[in-house]
Amino acid sequence: MIKVSAVSYFNTKPMIYGLQQSGLLSGIQLHLDIPAVTALKFMHDEVDVALLPCGVLPRLNNYKIITNNCIGAINQVKTVAIFANQPLEQLDKIYLDYQSRTSVELLRILLKEYWKLPAIELLPASEGFEQRIKENEAALLIGDKTFPFLADTPYQYDLATAWHEHTGLPFAFAVWVAKPTVSEEWITLFDKALETGVANRNQLAFQLAHTNPEIDWMDYFYNCISYNLDDAKRKAIKLFTEKIQLT
């Protein structure tokens, strides 16, 4: 039985859909976790395969990136952003989403190199922090909790857009990794299942429209999330992890 930890956000649903359709789940013990927990489980050898935030890769020793699928964005991703009631340059503090190290590291890089605002104080936050933001403060939000804020938050700063404007590259938020003991034969089947789900995400979007009609699923799955781990995203991962190690 292969133990797999996948991120529990909406953006992974096409890949989970592919696993469900493939029949591969019968041989998998699947965990759905927030990004920070997937990283801990993989590092503590609690799972064999994980969809890991790219920010954790420099801390790993014994792993291999598998499959040509990832959670990435060419430009706007919508679900990784700073939400504020005032312009960025007027902010004193940004409270950090506790669910992902990658987004926090990306924010640090962008504040320093792109926005040239390294003096903004970055503060750790706990569950529900996004409801307690005051004037001159902002929230870095990731994942599903961002959707209610997209319609009416006056100032929104999409981190994937900023990264693209800063580097000319797309961004990869998370990649699939495995322990070296996982066989290539199993990885091939796993990759095929993920590909099938991504290729049929229009069917999933139709299904989700009945349960979450407030979200434009076709726009999100096709225009915001980019699932192909291509050469440009691999270059972005290399650049991003290098910048992390320099800070």
Residue 98: CB atoms within 10 A of its CB come to 15
Q: pLDDT-based confidence at 247, cuts 50/70/90?
A: low
Task: Write down the pLDDT at residue 67.
Answer: 93
Handedness of CA 119, 162, 136, 125 (dihedral sign): negative
Q: Give the tens place of pLDDT for each residue, 168-205.
A: 999 999 999 999 999 999 999 999 999 999 999 999 99
For residue 127, the model assigns a pLDDT of 75
Same domain, 69 and 176: yes
CATH number of the domain at 17, please: 3.40.190.10
Collapsing DSSP to helix, strand or coil, 32 comes out as strand
Pair (141, 180) in one structural domain: no
Q: Which tokens in the block code for residue 72?
A: 């990435």
The pLDDT score that the predictor gives to residue 47 is 97
Q: Environment class of residue 185 by beta-carbon count within 10 Å: exposed (0-12), middle (13-18) or buried (19+)? A: exposed
- State pTM to two decimals: 0.93
Q: Report the alpha-carbon distance of residue 8 to residue 227 in Å, rounded.
A: 16
Rounded distance between C-alpha atoms, residue 7 and residue 187, angstroms: 18
Residue scoring higher pLDDT (178 or 27) = 178
Which whole number is the average pLDDT over 75-92?
95
pLDDT of residue 98: 79
Q: Which of 127, 146, 167 is the last residue of a domain?
A: 167
| pLDDT band at 28; cut points 50, 70, 90 | very high
Q: How confident is the model at residue 81 (pLDDT cuts 50, 70, 90)?
A: very high
Same domain flag for 174 and 162: no
Which tens digits make up the pLDDT trace of 109-158?
Answer: 999 999 999 999 999 887 777 777 778 889 999 999 999 999 889 999 99
Look at strands 137-142 and 80-84 and give their pairing: antiparallel
| Residue ending a domain, choose from 131, 152, 167 | 167
Q: Write the DSSP string, 102-123.
A: HHHHHHHHHHHHTS--TTSEEE
44: left (phi over 0), alpha (psi -120 to 50) or beta: alpha
Q: What's the CA gap between 133 and 140, in Å, rounded?
A: 11
What integer best gives the mean pLDDT of the chain? Answer: 93
Token pair in block for residue 102:
């990658």
Q: Where are the beta strands (DSSP E) in the chain?
A: 2-7, 28-33, 49-53, 64-73, 80-84, 93-96, 121-124, 137-142, 155-158, 171-178, 226-228
Lowest mean pLDDT among 77-86, 133-142, 158-167: 133-142
Considering the domain architecture, whether residues 142 and 198 belong to the same structural domain is answered as: no
Q: What is the mean pLDDT of residues 64-69?
A: 94
**DSSP annotation of 247:** -
- Count up the domains in the chain and report the number: 2
162 and 175 in a single domain? The answer is no
Q: CA 208 to CA 202: how far, in whole Å?
A: 10
Kindly tell me if the per-residue pLDDT of 102 is higher than 70.
Answer: yes
> How, if at all, do strands 155-158 and 80-84 pair?
antiparallel
Same domain, 7 and 121: no
* Residues facing residue 124 across a β-bridge: 96
**Span 34-39, average pLDDT:** 90
Structural domain boundaries enclosing 127: 80-167
Where residue 97 falls among pLDDT bands split at 50, 70, 90?
confident
Among the candidates 112, 145, 167, a domain finishes at: 167
